[in-house]
Amino acid sequence: MSDLHRPGDEDAPAEDAPASRSQRKREVTRLQKMGERLVTLSREQTDRISLPPELREAVVFARTLTSHGARRRQMQRIGALMREVDPGPIQAGLDQLDQRGYREVMRLKEAESWRGRLLTEGDAALAALAEAIPSVDRQRIRQLVRNAGKAAHPPMRARASKELFRYILSLLSGAPEADE
Protein backbone atom coordinates (compact mmCIF):
# COMPACT_ATOMS: atom_id res chain seq x y z
CA MET A 1 0.00 0.00 0.00
CA SER A 2 2.96 2.33 0.48
CA ASP A 3 3.66 2.09 -3.27
CA LEU A 4 0.23 3.49 -4.17
CA HIS A 5 0.42 6.58 -2.00
CA ARG A 6 3.53 8.68 -1.89
CA PRO A 7 3.80 11.44 0.75
CA GLY A 8 4.56 14.32 -1.66
CA ASP A 9 1.79 13.55 -4.19
CA GLU A 10 -0.90 15.76 -2.58
CA ASP A 11 1.15 18.88 -3.30
CA ALA A 12 1.77 18.05 -6.98
CA PRO A 13 -0.09 20.52 -9.23
CA ALA A 14 -2.93 19.09 -11.29
CA GLU A 15 -1.73 21.15 -14.29
CA ASP A 16 1.11 18.69 -14.91
CA ALA A 17 -1.37 15.91 -15.68
CA PRO A 18 -2.24 15.74 -19.38
CA ALA A 19 -5.80 16.67 -20.30
CA SER A 20 -8.10 13.74 -20.83
CA ARG A 21 -9.44 12.99 -24.27
CA SER A 22 -12.90 14.21 -23.20
CA GLN A 23 -11.46 17.50 -21.95
CA ARG A 24 -9.63 18.03 -25.22
CA LYS A 25 -12.81 17.32 -27.19
CA ARG A 26 -14.80 19.76 -25.04
CA GLU A 27 -12.17 22.44 -25.60
CA VAL A 28 -12.13 21.84 -29.37
CA THR A 29 -15.94 22.01 -29.46
CA ARG A 30 -15.89 25.25 -27.44
CA LEU A 31 -13.40 26.81 -29.85
CA GLN A 32 -15.41 25.64 -32.87
CA LYS A 33 -18.58 27.19 -31.39
CA MET A 34 -16.66 30.43 -30.81
CA GLY A 35 -15.61 30.35 -34.48
CA GLU A 36 -19.22 29.78 -35.57
CA ARG A 37 -20.27 32.75 -33.48
CA LEU A 38 -17.66 34.91 -35.22
CA VAL A 39 -19.21 34.02 -38.58
CA THR A 40 -22.67 35.12 -37.41
CA LEU A 41 -21.43 38.58 -36.39
CA SER A 42 -21.75 41.58 -38.67
CA ARG A 43 -18.66 43.01 -40.34
CA GLU A 44 -18.71 45.97 -37.94
CA GLN A 45 -18.85 43.68 -34.91
CA THR A 46 -16.05 41.51 -36.27
CA ASP A 47 -13.88 44.60 -36.76
CA ARG A 48 -14.23 45.41 -33.05
CA ILE A 49 -12.63 42.09 -32.09
CA SER A 50 -8.90 41.69 -32.50
CA LEU A 51 -8.50 38.64 -34.73
CA PRO A 52 -5.34 37.35 -36.40
CA PRO A 53 -5.41 38.21 -40.14
CA GLU A 54 -5.73 34.60 -41.31
CA LEU A 55 -8.66 33.92 -38.98
CA ARG A 56 -10.37 37.19 -39.96
CA GLU A 57 -10.02 36.27 -43.64
CA ALA A 58 -11.47 32.79 -43.00
CA VAL A 59 -14.44 34.27 -41.11
CA VAL A 60 -15.17 36.80 -43.85
CA PHE A 61 -14.92 34.09 -46.50
CA ALA A 62 -17.28 31.79 -44.57
CA ARG A 63 -19.99 34.47 -44.70
CA THR A 64 -19.95 34.37 -48.50
CA LEU A 65 -20.44 30.61 -48.82
CA THR A 66 -23.89 29.30 -49.65
CA SER A 67 -23.14 25.61 -50.28
CA HIS A 68 -23.68 23.53 -47.15
CA GLY A 69 -20.62 21.35 -47.76
CA ALA A 70 -18.31 24.26 -48.50
CA ARG A 71 -19.57 26.13 -45.42
CA ARG A 72 -19.05 23.06 -43.23
CA ARG A 73 -15.47 22.65 -44.48
CA GLN A 74 -14.79 26.36 -43.90
CA MET A 75 -16.18 26.09 -40.35
CA GLN A 76 -13.80 23.18 -39.72
CA ARG A 77 -10.94 25.34 -41.02
CA ILE A 78 -12.00 28.14 -38.68
CA GLY A 79 -12.06 25.63 -35.82
CA ALA A 80 -8.52 24.54 -36.67
CA LEU A 81 -7.37 28.17 -36.80
CA MET A 82 -9.05 28.82 -33.45
CA ARG A 83 -6.94 26.03 -31.90
CA GLU A 84 -3.78 27.83 -33.05
CA VAL A 85 -4.60 31.22 -31.49
CA ASP A 86 -5.15 32.42 -27.95
CA PRO A 87 -8.93 32.40 -27.48
CA GLY A 88 -8.83 34.75 -24.47
CA PRO A 89 -8.90 38.08 -26.35
CA ILE A 90 -11.51 36.75 -28.79
CA GLN A 91 -13.77 35.60 -25.96
CA ALA A 92 -13.28 38.96 -24.23
CA GLY A 93 -14.35 40.73 -27.42
CA LEU A 94 -17.44 38.54 -27.75
CA ASP A 95 -18.33 39.17 -24.10
CA GLN A 96 -17.97 42.91 -24.65
CA LEU A 97 -20.32 42.72 -27.65
CA ASP A 98 -22.84 40.79 -25.55
CA GLN A 99 -22.73 43.42 -22.82
CA ARG A 100 -23.12 46.23 -25.34
CA GLY A 101 -26.15 44.53 -26.86
CA TYR A 102 -27.66 43.94 -23.44
CA ARG A 103 -27.24 47.60 -22.47
CA GLU A 104 -28.85 48.71 -25.74
CA VAL A 105 -31.85 46.41 -25.21
CA MET A 106 -32.28 47.65 -21.65
CA ARG A 107 -32.18 51.29 -22.83
CA LEU A 108 -34.85 50.55 -25.47
CA LYS A 109 -37.05 48.84 -22.89
CA GLU A 110 -36.64 51.76 -20.51
CA ALA A 111 -37.60 54.25 -23.24
CA GLU A 112 -40.65 52.14 -24.09
CA SER A 113 -41.62 52.05 -20.43
CA TRP A 114 -41.33 55.84 -20.11
CA ARG A 115 -43.41 56.35 -23.27
CA GLY A 116 -46.14 54.07 -21.92
CA ARG A 117 -46.15 55.83 -18.57
CA LEU A 118 -46.26 59.27 -20.18
CA LEU A 119 -49.19 58.30 -22.38
CA THR A 120 -51.19 56.77 -19.52
CA GLU A 121 -50.20 58.76 -16.42
CA GLY A 122 -49.58 62.18 -17.94
CA ASP A 123 -48.09 64.86 -15.67
CA ALA A 124 -47.24 62.44 -12.83
CA ALA A 125 -45.01 60.44 -15.20
CA LEU A 126 -43.56 63.68 -16.61
CA ALA A 127 -42.58 64.77 -13.09
CA ALA A 128 -40.92 61.39 -12.48
CA LEU A 129 -39.10 61.61 -15.83
CA ALA A 130 -37.92 65.16 -15.06
CA GLU A 131 -36.61 63.95 -11.71
CA ALA A 132 -34.77 61.06 -13.36
CA ILE A 133 -33.45 63.15 -16.27
CA PRO A 134 -33.10 66.83 -15.35
CA SER A 135 -32.31 67.90 -18.94
CA VAL A 136 -35.80 66.96 -20.17
CA ASP A 137 -37.74 69.62 -22.05
CA ARG A 138 -41.12 69.45 -20.32
CA GLN A 139 -42.89 71.55 -22.91
CA ARG A 140 -41.62 69.34 -25.74
CA ILE A 141 -42.67 66.17 -23.89
CA ARG A 142 -46.17 67.57 -23.25
CA GLN A 143 -46.53 68.45 -26.92
CA LEU A 144 -45.38 64.99 -28.03
CA VAL A 145 -47.69 63.26 -25.54
CA ARG A 146 -50.60 65.42 -26.66
CA ASN A 147 -49.89 64.62 -30.33
CA ALA A 148 -49.57 60.90 -29.63
CA GLY A 149 -52.76 60.76 -27.60
CA LYS A 150 -55.12 62.98 -29.53
CA ALA A 151 -54.18 62.76 -33.20
CA ALA A 152 -57.24 62.22 -35.39
CA HIS A 153 -55.81 59.50 -37.64
CA PRO A 154 -54.08 56.31 -36.45
CA PRO A 155 -51.04 56.83 -38.73
CA MET A 156 -50.53 60.29 -37.22
CA ARG A 157 -50.83 58.87 -33.69
CA ALA A 158 -48.28 56.18 -34.53
CA ARG A 159 -45.89 58.77 -35.97
CA ALA A 160 -46.24 61.01 -32.90
CA SER A 161 -45.76 58.02 -30.60
CA LYS A 162 -42.56 57.07 -32.46
CA GLU A 163 -41.33 60.65 -32.23
CA LEU A 164 -41.96 60.62 -28.47
CA PHE A 165 -40.06 57.32 -28.20
CA ARG A 166 -37.09 58.70 -30.16
CA TYR A 167 -36.97 61.80 -27.97
CA ILE A 168 -37.00 59.75 -24.77
CA LEU A 169 -34.36 57.42 -26.21
CA SER A 170 -32.12 60.39 -27.03
CA LEU A 171 -32.53 61.63 -23.45
CA LEU A 172 -31.59 58.21 -22.06
CA SER A 173 -28.61 57.97 -24.41
CA GLY A 174 -27.34 61.34 -23.33
CA ALA A 175 -26.96 62.28 -26.98
CA PRO A 176 -28.29 65.58 -28.21
CA GLU A 177 -31.52 65.15 -30.12
CA ALA A 178 -31.40 65.48 -33.86
CA ASP A 179 -34.12 67.82 -35.12
CA GLU A 180 -36.20 66.38 -37.90
Question: In this predicted structure, what is the pLDDT of residue 6?
Answer: 52
Question: In this predicted structure, what is the pLDDT of residue 123?
Answer: 84
Of 14, 12, 13, 61, whose CA–CA distance to 35 is shortest? 61
**155 and 125 in one domain?**
yes
**155 and 121 in one domain?**
yes
Q: Are 152 and 91 in contact (CB under 8 A)?
A: no
d(CA 33, CA 48): 19
d(CA 116, CA 111): 9
**79 and 51 in one domain?**
yes
d(CA 81, CA 54): 8
Question: Where a domain ends, among 85, 114, 131?
Answer: 85
Q: Is residue 112 part of a domain?
A: yes
Q: Is residue 91 part of a domain?
A: no
**81 and 34 in one domain?**
yes
Q: Is residue 57 part of a domain?
A: yes
d(CA 71, CA 74): 5
Question: In this predicted structure, what is the pLDDT of residue 77?
Answer: 93
Count of domains forming the chain: 2
**140 and 77 in one domain?**
no
Q: Is residue 124 part of a domain?
A: yes
**146 and 109 in one domain?**
yes
d(CA 62, CA 75): 7
Taking 50 as the pLDDT cut, the residues of the chain under it are 1-2, 12, 175-180
Q: What is the CATH number of the domain that holds 159?
A: 1.10.60.30
**75 and 112 in one domain?**
no
Q: Are 56 and 78 in contact (CB under 8 A)?
A: no
d(CA 145, CA 116): 10
pTM above 0.85, yes or no: no
Domain carrying residue 167: 102-173
